Amino acid sequence: MVPVLILMTLIVFMIFYFAPGDPVSRIAGPNVTQEVYDNIMQKHGLDQPFVVQYFKFAKSVVKGDLGISILQDRPVVEMIRERLPVTLQIGLLGFLITFIIAIPAGVIAAVKKNTVVDYLCMSGSLLGIAIPTFWFGMLLLYVFAYKLRWFPISGDGTIKQLVLPAFAIGLTNAAITARMVRSSMLEVLKQDYVRTAKSKGLYEKTVVYSHALKNAMIPIISLMGLRLGWIIGGSVALEIIFSIPGIGRLMVDSILARDYPVVQGAMIVLTSSIIFANILADILYSVVDPRIRYS
Amino acid sequence: MKVNKMEKVTLVILAFALLLSCVLTGCSKEDSKKTEKTLVIGYDRDAEIMDTIKTAWYSDALIYIHDRLVTRDYEFGYKPGLAERWDVSDDGLVWTFHLRKDVKFHDDKEFKAEDVKWTIDTIKDPNTGSPFSGDLEAIKEVNIVDEHTVDVVLNYPFPNLLYNLSGTASGIHPANAYETYGDDYGKRVVIGTGPYKLEEWTPGDKTVLVKNEDYKWGPEWMSNRGPALIDKIVLKIIPDENSRMMELEVGGIHILRNVPETYVEKLEKNDDITIYSEPATKLGYLAYATDKEPFTDVRVRRAINHALNREEIIQFVLRGIGEEAYGYLPPALTDEYLEESEELAYKYDPEKAKQLLAEAGYPDGLELTLSADNSSKSSKLAEIIQVQLKEVNIDAKIQPYDSAGYADMLREGKQELFIREYSWSNADIIDWFLLSSRFPYPNHSRWVDEKSDELITYAAQRPTWDERAEAYKEVQRYLIDEAVWAPIYIPMNMIAARKEVKNFKYHPWMLQYNDGFDLEVSGK
């Protein structure tokens, strides 16, 4: 985990160092004299060479201090703490929706293979894969917030604001997951032990849900582990469309303004969450399949 | 306790129902306060710091939180604000401001001369790194005469002082605010004497302001002088343009002060919304690095001016909403704008352009790069300018940048042709962009010219406002003759207000100035 984080911060740092533009232009505005401009650059240590800047940054990160935002002049940790919860809420709710829709849909499609139900589920999921999340978000916003007015158009701080973006994430992710569940289920249903279970006279439902599904879950869990990190990082567009001040928007705004301490901080959080989701997936394997042990 | 399957399912359903009802009822608290009048204003982007001294990117909330020494009325005239009157010494070097005696800050501190001194001194202190310090360059020192009188001593006569003291940036803070409030100042706390107090600021989301009940020192030219008629003002950040328009249509926001031209047609069809438009104090122009070949030749600069079909550009980029520009200042600055700009300037004439290019030694045309930022407006501008330049055999390659990269590129001087739009309501914008002392930044057109330095400095330091205005006209005549820029358009300020907004009156100086005073909002 540590090497990944070091590599990531180094890359982000390099991109920012060599990219054109600096954060001071925005604070300073067009009407500032060179003297004041240099003063501000100096205040934030932006006039120092790359290596010095990076080590200063790395030293404070180790101490748990992500630095001070150049534009907002406050601790990055504090800014992330403000912005992260709402992003996590949307991500997790979206994740839950993914699960609730994808697993039954995938299982039913697998069991009723080559029937109308299967075709419906699979063409629905094909559509879901083809539609970009942000576009689906705009569609939901237009129909349910603008036309029907069931939900707020822009974030209002209540739980209602989470529903539409969570559905946008949930449904588009459910599409790909459902296909995965279906193919994984088909694989498992062909196996001998399933036939044995059926010939023992067990109910079809018991066979499918408690015998087959458990084994079919392994590839799905690793997919979900990858998606969880992606869901959290990928809600940037939705946060803009739904006017939700989450961490994705913080990151985009900071990138545009070249406020690199904030971008670094947000990237560390995102990278960690992706790593964490993968560890979680690994642990879940052993829960689903007791044969997998980690020593 | 043994729970069978049926009961389990019922329990889960019950739990969900409970959760759902919590969610749905939880947000209906607002209904209890029906009489409160709230004005919600939509914005695309938030400020980073809530402090006029430390950033050039102000939140409009600061317009309501602070008062300034000088105000400007609907006709752009300078009128008393926190200063009830002022006198100028005969040599124009000492300005004496007589302050109001009945003013209190939001923290109950009485407003005194020391507050004015502290605010100006802090801005001027190079260690503060205030972007506004340059605007107050003319001020030598601020002297407290008595508790309610200050002398502002200048280095040279500078009638534009009134302009600088009436801007958002010169909102008066209580003396020693940074010591008193520490790191919270500009983040959780901002103290002014203005009609609204800061209640809550969630960066990137919204700013909530509540009315200052004690306020009774509003400018004399407003129909109400305080306290404000609107109880609460909410500045709501909605980054997506589409969402902003939808929110306006459903009534989630009441007023939008920067409506893009592309939405005007749609909003006009909505009976609940009225669009008010007035020429903005903005200017869109094509500029070039005047210190590089071929732009060192005035004939090439004039040729580029002749090549632009401004009417077509306005149709294509602004949907016809805007005015053609030929001068260097927006006509809304009635005192300083040079009336005959259009007659003197270079109208659309591709033949003339080609002829000038040939005379300058480029009979076969030119190959140049055209830089623009990557906003949709600039990209469109770049496209049509490219086409129009092509007609006079100038081959322009478009080079897009993101906004921070664009500023950097200009600072480094890599530009050839480039697109800019400024928004400023004073003639001193010419100083900023064209004085040789501003080279290379913000003098992006890299215009270093003795004659123009002389004319501009002379104009800026005239002892009276009228003499200054006349002198700036001379500056503009010279700039037009030299074709330093190719001015293109003056956009319109378009403001969309819902039917709940009452007594809308366009204020040319600060669009938000009169909220709660002349402008009102009907209660729910």
The predicted-structure confidence for A168-225, as pLDDT tens digits, reads as follows 988 888 888 898 889 988 888 888 888 888 888 888 778 888 778 888 888 888 888 8
Check CB contact under 8 Å for A154 and B202. no
Best residue in A31, A36, A203 to probe B by mutation, most B CBs within 10 Å?
A31
CA atoms within 13 A on the CB side of A20: 16
Check CB contact under 8 Å for B242 and A138. yes
Considering only CB atoms, A21 lies closest to which of B131, B183, B405, namely B405
pLDDT at residue A232 is higher than 80: no
Which pLDDT band, with edges at 50, 70 and 90, does A295 fall under? Answer: low
Domain termination site, one of B174, B203, B218:
B174
Maximal CA-CA distance, chain B: 101
Predicted confidence (pLDDT) per residue in B218-252, tens digit? 999 888 888 999 999 999 999 988 999 999 999 99
Q: Name every residue whose Cβ is closer than 8 Å to that of residue A231 and which is 6 or more positions away in sequence.
A: A91, A94, A95, A169, A173
Mean pLDDT of A51-57: 85
Region for residue A114 given its phi and psi (left: phi exceeds 0; alpha: psi -120 to 50; beta: otherwise): left
Is the distance from CB of A30 to CB of B442 less than 8 angstroms?
A: yes
Chain B residues touching A72 at Cβ < 8 A = 48-49, 187, 203
Mean pLDDT of B121-144: 88
> Can you tell me the distance from the alpha carbon of A83 to that of B213, in angstroms, rounded to the nearest whole number?
33
Closest CA–CA distance from residue A151 to any residue of chain B (Å) = 10
Mean pLDDT of A125-129: 88
Total domains, chain B: 2
Least confident of A36-45, A59-68, B53-62: A36-45
pLDDT at residue B397 is higher than 60: yes
Q: Per the structure block, which two tokens stand in for B26?
A: 């939880």
Per DSSP, the residues of B443-512 read -TT----HHHHHHHHHHHT-SSHHHHHHHHHHHHHHHHHHT-SEEEEEEEEEEEEETTEES----SS-TT
Residue B118 in any domain: the answer is yes
Residue B459 in any domain: the answer is yes
Which pLDDT band, with edges at 50, 70 and 90, does B339 fall under? Answer: very high
Residue B392 in any domain: the answer is yes
Domain termination site, one of B174, B192, B212:
B174
DSSP B160: T
Phi, psi of A68 (to 5 degrees): -115, 135
CA distances from B331 to B167, B193, B249, B487, B493 (A): 20, 33, 32, 12, 13
> Can you tell me the distance from the alpha carbon of B113 to that of B103, in angstroms, rounded to the nearest whole number?
11
pLDDT at residue B337 is higher than 90: yes
Residues B457 and B315 in one domain: yes
* pLDDT greater at residue A191 or residue B455: B455
Best residue in A32, A39, A79, A156 to probe B by mutation, most B CBs within 10 Å?
A32
Residue B199 in any domain: the answer is no
Q: Which amino acid is at A103?
A: I
State residue B31's pLDDT score.
46
Q: Per the structure block, which two tokens stand in for B181?
A: 């409030």
Residues B321 and B449 in one domain: yes
> Can you tell me the distance from the alpha carbon of B9 to that of A251, in angstroms, rounded to the nearest whole number?
42
Domain hosting residue B392, numbered range: 282-491
Q: What is the CATH number of the domain that holds B359?
A: 3.10.105.10
Check CB contact under 8 Å for B27 and A243. no
Strand-pairing partners, residue B497, are B255, B274
Q: Of B375, B297, B314, whose CA–CA distance to B348 is shortest? A: B314
Chain B residues touching A27 at Cβ < 8 A = 48-49, 54-57, 131
Measured between CB atoms, does A270 come within 8 Å of chain B? no
Considering only CB atoms, B126 lies closest to which of A35, A83, A257, namely A35
Query: Which chain B residue is nearest to residue A39, measuring alpha carbons?
Result: B129
Residues B160 and B294 in one domain: no
Check CB contact under 8 Å for A155 and B409. no
Residues B326 and B454 in one domain: yes
> Can you tell me the distance from the alpha carbon of B60 to that of B55, in angstroms, rounded to the nearest whole number?
13
Is the distance from CB of A251 to CB of A87 less than 8 angstroms?
A: no
Check CB contact under 8 Å for A146 and B432. no
Check CB contact under 8 Å for B134 and A33. yes
Q: Name the residue with tokens 């140049």.
A: B368
Closest CA–CA distance from residue B143 to any residue of chain A (Å) = 24
CA distances from B268 to B256, B260, B318, B500 (A): 14, 13, 16, 16
Check CB contact under 8 Å for B131 and A79. no
Residue B140 in any domain: the answer is yes
Best residue in B28, B128, B205, B402 to probe A by mutation, most A CBs within 10 Å?
B205
pLDDT at residue B115 is higher than 90: yes
Query: Which chain A residue is nearest to residue B29, measuring alpha carbons?
Result: A158
pTM of this prediction?
0.84
Domain termination site, one of B154, B174, B194:
B174
CA distances from B432 to B145, B283, B341, B429, B439 (A): 33, 14, 20, 5, 9
Closest CA–CA distance from residue A101 to any residue of chain B (Å) = 17
Residues B149 and B294 in one domain: no
Question: What is the gyration radius of the CA atoms in chain A, in angstroms?
Answer: 24
Query: Which chain A residue is nearest to residue B240, measuring alpha carbons?
Result: A241
Is the distance from CB of B247 to CB of B233 less than 8 angstroms?
A: no
Least confident of A75-79, B14-18, B413-417, B501-505: B14-18
Measured between CB atoms, does A149 come within 8 Å of chain B? yes
Which pLDDT band, with edges at 50, 70 and 90, does B271 fall under? Answer: very high
Chain A from 77 to 106: CB within 8 A of any B CB: 79, 82-83
Chain B residues touching A32 at Cβ < 8 A = 56, 131, 133-134, 442
Check CB contact under 8 Å for B409 and A158. no
Q: Name every residue whose Cβ is closer than 8 Å to that of residue B113 and which is 6 or more positions away in sequence.
A: B99, B144, B145, B146, B147, B148, B149, B150
Residue B83 in any domain: the answer is yes
> Can you tell me the distance from the alpha carbon of A62 to that of B286, in angstroms, rounded to the nearest whole number?
49
> Can you tell me the distance from the alpha carbon of A181 to that of A106, in angstroms, rounded to the nearest whole number?
5
State residue B32's pLDDT score.
45
Residue B99 in any domain: the answer is yes
Chain A residues touching B247 at Cβ < 8 A = 153-154
* Helices A76-111, A116-130: inter-axial angle, 10-degree rounding: 150
Predicted confidence (pLDDT) per residue in B8-47, tens digit? 555 555 555 544 444 444 444 444 445 788 999 999 888 8
Closest CA–CA distance from residue A210 to any residue of chain B (Å) = 16
Measured between CB atoms, does A31 come within 8 Å of chain B? yes
Share of chain B above pLDDT 90, in %: 63
State residue B504's pLDDT score.
87
Q: Of B246, B202, B239, B22, whose CA–CA distance to A158 is shortest? A: B22
Q: What is the CATH number of the domain that holds B88?
A: 3.90.76.10
Q: Per the structure block, which two tokens stand in for B81?
A: 């604000």
> Can you tell me the distance from the alpha carbon of A253 to that of A166, in angstroms, rounded to the nearest whole number?
22
CB atoms near residue A53 (< 10 Å): 18
State residue B107's pLDDT score.
92
Mean pLDDT of B347-359: 93
Strand-pairing partners, residue B492, are B279
Residues B168 and B291 in one domain: no
Task: Tell me the average pLDDT of chain B.
Answer: 88
Query: Which chain B residue is nearest to residue A35, measuring alpha carbons?
Result: B126
Best residue in B41, B48, B401 to probe A by mutation, most A CBs within 10 Å?
B48
Which pLDDT band, with edges at 50, 70 and 90, does A233 fall under? Answer: low
> Can you tell me the distance from the alpha carbon of B216 to that of B89, in angstroms, rounded to the nearest whole number?
31
ipTM of the complex: 0.84
Is the distance from CB of B492 to CB of B279 less than 8 angstroms?
A: yes
> Can you tell me the distance from the alpha carbon of B407 to that of B341, in angstroms, rounded to the nearest whole number?
29
Is the distance from CB of B305 to CB of B483 less than 8 angstroms?
A: yes
Considering only CB atoms, A29 lies closest to which of B131, B250, B405, namely B131
Residue B443 in any domain: the answer is yes
Closest CA–CA distance from residue B102 to any residue of chain A (Å) = 34
Per DSSP, the residues of A112-176 read TTTSHHHHHHHHHHHHHHHS-HHHHHHHHIIIIIIIS-SS-SS--SSTHHHHHHHHHHHHHHHHH
Is the distance from CB of A247 to CB of A83 less than 8 angstroms?
A: yes
Check CB contact under 8 Å for A29 and B56. yes
